[in-house]
C-alpha cells in the first residue's frame, strides 16, 4: 500500500521512523481513523477537529490546515484503490536526539498516514448484521480518556482480557460502578424505549460515531435521548446495548457476561437507529 510520511507518499516498505521518535518511546502522539466508503469520508471535519483538540492538549504544534489534511486523505484514497478504506492518521511529537521526558522546544512532529481495507459498511446489509458479545470489567485506564492518544496500552489490555473471557468487547465501569465506554467503542443503552449514553468527560473518548448518532437521533425526534451517568445495574437490566465506533457504526450487543441482552437478538430500537445512521451519516 501507499502511505504518507512527513510530506511524501511512498510504499509502506519504504516508510521508516527513528526509534528515538517520541511516538515509539512514549506513545507521545495523537491519531484518527476515518472510515471512507467508495472513497467518501464519514465525519471528516469532526475527526480533524478532534485531532486538533488532542494536539492542542498535548502542546504539539502542527500547521497542517484542514484543506491539507483533506488532500492527504484524498491522495491516500486515490493511491490505494478508492474502495472502502479506513484512513489512519497519526501525529507524534517527533524525534529527539536523546531520550528525555521533557517536551523538547525544538522538535518537528512526525506525520504518518495509511489506508486499510474495511469492507462494506456494517449497515449496508441489515440481513447479515454482526452481533457482539461483551463482558463487564472495572475501567483501569488513565483519567484522560478524552484524548485520542496513540498510547493505547490500557485499552488493548482490556480488549485482550475480554477476548480471554470469550467476548468481542469489554464494557468498562468506573469506581462508582458507572459505565464509561468499551475498549474500542462508545456504548449506548436502551430501556423502555429511551436511549441513553454516558455524557462526555475525561472518562471517555468523544466518539465521532457517538456524536453523529446523537445528532441524527435528536434531529429525527422519534426517541427520547439522554446523556447521563449510567449504573452497572441499569446496564445489566437494559433492553438493548449498542457499541458505536467508526468501524462498527452502530452495533448490537446480544450477550453480556454470558447471558442474553434483552431478547438475545438485535433489538427493534437498534434496527431503527442503525437505519437512520446509515441514511444520515454523511450529513454532518
Q: Which of 148, 191, 224, 248 is catalytic?
A: 148
Selected range binding ligand PLP among 23-31, 75-83, 132-140, 177-185, rule: CB under 6 A? 177-185
Phi/psi of residue 105, nearest 5 degrees: -80, -35
Residues 6+ apart with CB under 8 A from 6: 110, 111, 112
Euclidean distance between CA atoms 144 and 202, whole angstroms: 5
SS3 153: helix
Determine which residue in the list 2, 185, 189, 254 makes contact with ligand PLP, applying CB under 6 A: 185
Q: Out of 80, 136, 155, 203, which residue is the one contacting ligand PLP (CB under 6 A)?
A: 155
Which residues, 70 to 109, sit near ligand PLP by CB under 6 A? none
- Residue 50 CB partners (closer than 8 Å, separation 6+): 32, 148, 206, 208
Give whichever of 245 and 274 is closer to ligand PLP, judged by the CB atom.
245
Burial pattern 157-189, b for ≥16 Cβ within 10 A else e, equals: ebbeebeeeebbbbbbbbeeebbbbbbbbbbbb
**Given the rule CB under 6 A, which of 78-86, 163-171, 228-236, 242-250 is the region that contacts ligand PLP?**
242-250
Stretch that binds ligand PLP, among 70-78, 110-118, 124-132, 239-247 (CB under 6 A): 239-247
Work out how close the CB of 242 gets to ligand PLP at its nearest, in angstroms, rounded to a whole number.
12
Site string for ligand PLP, 203-222 (x = CB under 6 A): --x-xxxx------------
Instruction: State yes or no: is 148 an active-site residue.
Output: yes
Q: Applying CB under 6 A, does 64 fall inside the site for ligand PLP? A: no
For residues 148 and 253, what is the distance between their CA atoms, to the nearest angstrom?
24
Contact call for residues 71 and 78 (beta carbons, < 8 A) = no
Instruction: Kindly state the smallest distance separating residue 8's Cβ from ligand PLP, in Å.
Output: 27
3-state secondary structure 73-131: HHHHHHHCCCCCEEEEEEEECCECCCCCCCCCCCCCCEEEEEEEECCCCCCCCHHHCCC
Binds ligand PLP (CB under 6 A): choice among 245, 256, 274, 276: 245
Q: How far apart are CA 185 and CA 250, in angstroms?
A: 10
Cβ neighbours of 226 (radius 10 Å): 15
Compute the least distance from the CB of residue 185 to ligand PLP, in Å: 5
- Work out which of 123, 246, 255, 274 binds ligand PLP, going by CB under 6 A: 246
Does 197 contact ligand PLP by CB under 6 A? Answer: no
Residues involved in catalysis: 148
Residues within the interface to ligand PLP (CB under 6 A): 155, 181, 184-186, 205, 207-210, 244-246
Amino acid at each position: 500500500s501507499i502511505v504518507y510520511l512527513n510530506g511524501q507518499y511512498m510504499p509502506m516498505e519504504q516508510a521508516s521512523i527513528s526509534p528515538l521518535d517520541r511516538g515509539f518511546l512514549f506513545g507521545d502522539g495523537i491519531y484518527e481513523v476515518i472510515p471512507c466508503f467508495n472513497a467518501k469520508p464519514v465525519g471528516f471535519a469532526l475527526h480533524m477537529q478532534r485531532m486538533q483538540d488532542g494536539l492542542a492538549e498535548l502542546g504539539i504544534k502542527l500547521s497542517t490546515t484542514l484543506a491539507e489534511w483533506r488532500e492527504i486523505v484524498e491522495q491516500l484514497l486515490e493511491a490505494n484503490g478508492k474502495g472502502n478504506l479506513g484512513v489512519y492518521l497519526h501525529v507524534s511529537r517527533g524525534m529527539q536526539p536523546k531520550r528525555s521526558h521533557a517536551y523538547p522546544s525544538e522538535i518537528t512532529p512526525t506525520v504518518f498516514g495509511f489506508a486499510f481495507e474495511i469492507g462494506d459498511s456494517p449497515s449496508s446489509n441489515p440481513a447479515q448484521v454482526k452481533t457482539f458479545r461483551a463482558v463487564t470489567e472495572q475501567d483501569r485506564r488513565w483519567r484522560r480518556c478524552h484524548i485520542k492518544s496513540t498510547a493505547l496500552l490500557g485499552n488493548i489490555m482490556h480488549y485482550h482480557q475480554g477476548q480471554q473471557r470469550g467476548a468481542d468487547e469489554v464494557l468498562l465501569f468506573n469506581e462508582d460502578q458507572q459505565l464509561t465506554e468499551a475498549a474500542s467503542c462508545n456504548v449506548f443503552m436502551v430501556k423502555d424505549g429511551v436511549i441513553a449514553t454516558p455524557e462526555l468527560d475525561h472518562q471517555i473518548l468523544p466518539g465521532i460515531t457517538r456524536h453523529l448518532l446523537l445528532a441524527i437521533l435528536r434531529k429525527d425526534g422519534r426517541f427520547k435521548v439522554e446523556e447521563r451517568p449510567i449504573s452497572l445495574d441499569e446496564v445489566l437490566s437494559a433492553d438493548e446495548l449498542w457499541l458505536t465506533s467508526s468501524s462498527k457504526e452502530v452495533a448490537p450487543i446480544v450477550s453480556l457476561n454470558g447471558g442474553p441482552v434483552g431478547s438475545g437478538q438485535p433489538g427493534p430500537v437498534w434496527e431503527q437507529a442503525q437505519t437512520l445512521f446509515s441514511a444520515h451519516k454523511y450529513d454532518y
